Amino acid sequence: MKRRPLVIGNWKMNGDRGAAVRLAAAAADVAAALSGVVDVGISPPAVWLERAAAVAGSARVLAQTSSEHTGGAHTGELSCAMLSEAGATGTLVGHSERRQFNGEDDAVVASKLREARESGLEVVLCVGESLEARDAGATLDVVEGQLEGALAALDQLAGIVIAYEPVWAIGTGRTATPEQAQEVHAAVRSWLARRFGEAAAAATRILYGGSVKGSNAAALLSCADIDGALVGGASLDAAEFAAICRAAAA
Ligand code: PEP
């Protein structure tokens, strides 16, 4: 079964308001050009969600993180309802930078995922192993443990996208080979099939993330279980991001 590719640009904490509007408008153009063939998304800093969403056209707009709480005394946090009102239709959950630098463990990731789904946001659940884990041969143990930690309480996968992002490939310029990525993507899909059934696993998009660029996107995206990309650094360059989106269409 071929799933429609999804390519999302995660801008992280980069740029300014002008750049956000320009990148969002460029994403709108590529989303329109690839309409029905590739789904395009952007994940701007929260302060610019609303402005970016206003010019993003059919590109979907996702928050980079969202609170596990519905509301109340949580200084500095943003609820899923607030993010929706600002134009987000989805959110990243469990990005490795949040796990590493903001202390988000599997329990927090599971709570955030539950809250986002209950609020009607699409969830891009990020999983991936460290270099130490890969070198120790523990890649699949780590990834399956993160899937279990985040998804154990769910009874169905609707509204969930998985992003496999090896931590050693994020922002390092080092990319997993297509073979390395495909091996983990296939294992993720098997895990989903065991847990949620073949049909649900076959319908779920599994994105690859980790130094994806225009020059390596086609080889990665041609793999059977790679259904798109979560793009960090390269998504800050509109032409490069468009090239990745076009590679997904091939
Ligand atoms: C990311 O942070 O999700 C990511 C994949 O970053 P980069 O493309 O810069 O490695």
pLDDT value for 250 = 85
Q: Whose CA is nearest to atom 6 of ligand 1?
A: 232
**What is the arithmetic mean of pLDDT over 167-176?**
88
Cα(171) to centroid(ligand 1), Å? 5
To the nearest 10 degrees (0 to 180), the angle between helices 139-151 and 178-196 is 40
Query: CB–CB of 5/227 below 8 Å?
Result: yes
**What is the arithmetic mean of pLDDT over 15-34?**
98
pLDDT value for 109 = 98
Determine the CATH number of domain 6-249: 3.20.20.70
Given a cut of 90, whether residue 89 has pLDDT beyond it is: yes
Picking from 29, 36, 34, 54, the residue whose alpha carbon sits closest to that of residue 238 is 29
Residues facing residue 125 across a β-bridge: 93, 162
pLDDT value for 98 = 97
**What is the arithmetic mean of pLDDT over 140-169?**
96
Cα(73) to centroid(ligand 1), Å? 32
pLDDT tens string 100-128: 999 999 999 999 999 999 999 999 999 99
Residues identified as active-site: 95, 165
**What is the arithmetic mean of pLDDT over 195-199?**
97
Given a cut of 90, whether residue 172 has pLDDT beyond it is: no
Q: Whose CA is nearest to atom 2 of ligand 1?
A: 232
Distances in whole angstroms, Cα of residue 41 to Cα of each of 11, 83, 186, 230: 11, 15, 24, 9
Question: Which residue carries 């986002």 as its tokens?
Answer: 116
pLDDT value for 1 = 63
- What's the maximum distance between 2 C-alpha atoms anywhere in the chain? 48
Q: Whose CA is nearest to atom 8 of ligand 1?
A: 232
Q: Whose CA is nearest to atom 7 of ligand 1?
A: 232
Residues facing residue 90 across a β-bridge: 62, 122
Query: CB–CB of 223/182 below 8 Å?
Result: yes
What letter would DSSP give residue 12? -
pLDDT value for 171 = 83
Cα(198) to centroid(ligand 1), Å? 29
Q: Report yes or no on whether pTM surpasses 0.85.
A: yes
Residues facing residue 63 across a β-bridge: 91
pLDDT value for 64 = 98
Tell me the two tokens of residue 145: 């443990």
Picking from 4, 10, 5, the residue whose alpha carbon sits closest to that of residue 165 is 10
Q: Where are the domains of the chain?
A: 6-249
pLDDT tens string 178-191: 999 999 999 999 99
**What is the arithmetic mean of pLDDT over 78-91?**
98
Cα(10) to centroid(ligand 1), Å? 7
Given a cut of 80, whether residue 225 has pLDDT beyond it is: yes
**Percentage of residues in the chain having pLDDT higher than 70:** 100
**What is the arithmetic mean of pLDDT over 10-17?**
98
Q: pLDDT band at 209, cuts 50/70/90?
A: very high
CA 104 – CA 100 distance, rounded (Å): 7
pLDDT value for 103 = 94
Instruction: Find the residues whose C-beta lies inside 6 A of ligand 1.
Output: 10, 165, 170-171, 209-212, 230-234
pLDDT tens string 40-81: 999 999 999 999 999 999 999 999 999 999 999 999 999 999
